[in-house]
A and B are shown apart, each in its own frame.
Chain A
Amino acid sequence: MTGRVLPFRGRPLSSEAGIRAAERVLSTPIDERVSKAKALHLEDPETLLALCGLIRERMSASPASAKLEAEFLYRFIESPRREIGLFDERDYFLGETALLTGMACRCLSEREEAWIWFDRAEAGFRHTMNAPAEMSRLSYQRLAERLEERQFDLVLELLPSLVESFQKLGMPEDALKCRFLEGLAMFERDDPSAAIRVFNAIRDEADAMGSQTLLADAYVNLVHAHGMLGEAEAAIEASRRAIPILRELDNRISLAKVHWGLATLLREEGRIAEAVDSYRSAQEDFDAIGMRADIAALNLVVADLLLEEGKSVEALREISEALPVIAELKMAPEGMAALSLVRESVRRQEVNRQALRELHGYFQELQN
């Protein structure tokens, strides 16, 4: 028989003091934090809990800094080994900070790293008291990553089991969130009408449960899907609903995606110059939050548009800008094949449009 008691050392901070301590930590340069750990109450679970909350809130406004902060916390707790709080709290914070880092990597399209962080999150969550709930949250992130890697069949196969887990655990908001993956898989399989039905259902349910985050994301996806079908009125209405909520939530990732969706609509309407301007605007948004993969993906979309206009020199310039970023990312075989063809066509100064479309299809940013 084995057993351990983790005694509580000293008086814990109150939750309000934890929030203040967390804000002090974030305003302290990272390289000064370890030496000031005691004064910053960095080992206090209240501080860590507040830090995780702040990082989660900032994820959609600045994934690059969220990654930096969450990774710092993981490494601080992990080595040298620090005993944090009571019972399972060390394991929980290792799991949560790894999950946050993985989520940020996913936003930044750093796929190999995301998988490593999800494995680390599992190693932490496995030892927590409420492991089924934490592991289910992790499973959602893993499925979202698989969706971005275009493994649609696998996502659709595994999704019902995850929805069932969330329902059994009494987590309806998380269960609803899973439906985005279903809608996005349909969208990516060139069935925007089916996707619209799913996103409308999510919108209604999110509205009924009062979840502003899910409601806004439903509208963002509706902008894209209606835009793809050239349904201007519906796309514009969805964007009109999404933007105020996204501004209030400071969700800059989704705001950029709204611009992207509107650009798609303009393109479908044949308003090419305006579409290019709108894609540029989305690129600026992505640039401000460090989402390089999305900028590169939009370079490819713009290149395709320019080719449509017979501007092959400008198109080649767009592709050349995107290639170094794309090459830096680890991609699945079909992405690599398309990349090779595009590279070859750049070398020959004659673009293989089918390969270009496959490549930017591969890179099509997936919401949520």
Chain B
Amino acid sequence: MTIEVAVQQLINALSLGSLYALLALGLGMVYSVLGMLNFAYGELLTVCGYTMFLLILIGVPFPVAGLVGLGMAIGVSLLIERLVFRPLRGASFISLLFASFAASVIIQNLIKQLISKRPKVIPVPEVFDQMINIGPFQINVLSLIILLVGLVTLAGLVAFLQKTRWGLAIRAAAEDFEVTRLMGAKANRVIALSFALSGFVAGVAGVLWLSRRGAVSPTMGFIPILKAFIAIVIGGLGSLKGAVMGGFLLAFIEVALMVMLPTRAVPFTDAFALMIVVVILYMRPEGLISIKTGS
């Protein structure tokens, strides 16, 4: 493998990694605050995607459609909190699990009924497919955009979580929700904020995901939520730092496998990746970052 290929693959891995890290952070944010997986998380990407699809259809430029899609993801995330999670506050884990699963099915079927069951193509700006030369390296523009947008969003979120009062409350709630309430933070507000942030991250990830895929379908949210779930499990359930690390690690494993596996084995990348995940969890059952010790 030449150094050029290595650098290109490194950029690919970082690019995919920042996407996975975003996805994982969005899913992990709600999990760590509420102790509950939002199974309708993948549908936030779907909603973002279909909003963009409809807007582009009527001639709205791609970046504007992306912004509106992002807004829709935040809105729907808050709506899910309000209509599904808030009325069931204090209900059992199983009830919440099924309720969020129901929300996911309802959104998927609404899209199937109202728009179409079949995948639809989204015209992606042509510049995304071009390659640019940086020194001796040829790099795909989209990979670079995903990497930059992903890292900027991550940096922004980290700054929000580290520097603001609300960010501190979210991190505290991720550790111990009851004690966070004791400190005077309003439960509903902290939870709604975590859903808003989760929706924001899902929206950004949704725009990037679509730019890679170039198509929407009612079940398009499944792969992202799966990847996000794997990433937060590797990282240590409940740890925000772990979610980001898990996202990058998963991407590095996948890209490394795609490069190193013989061509005939490439379709089984996911299977091999999951095997490696199992090995990691065998060695560190609590994930990379255990929330009990915080290290």
Q: Are A and B physically bound partners?
A: no
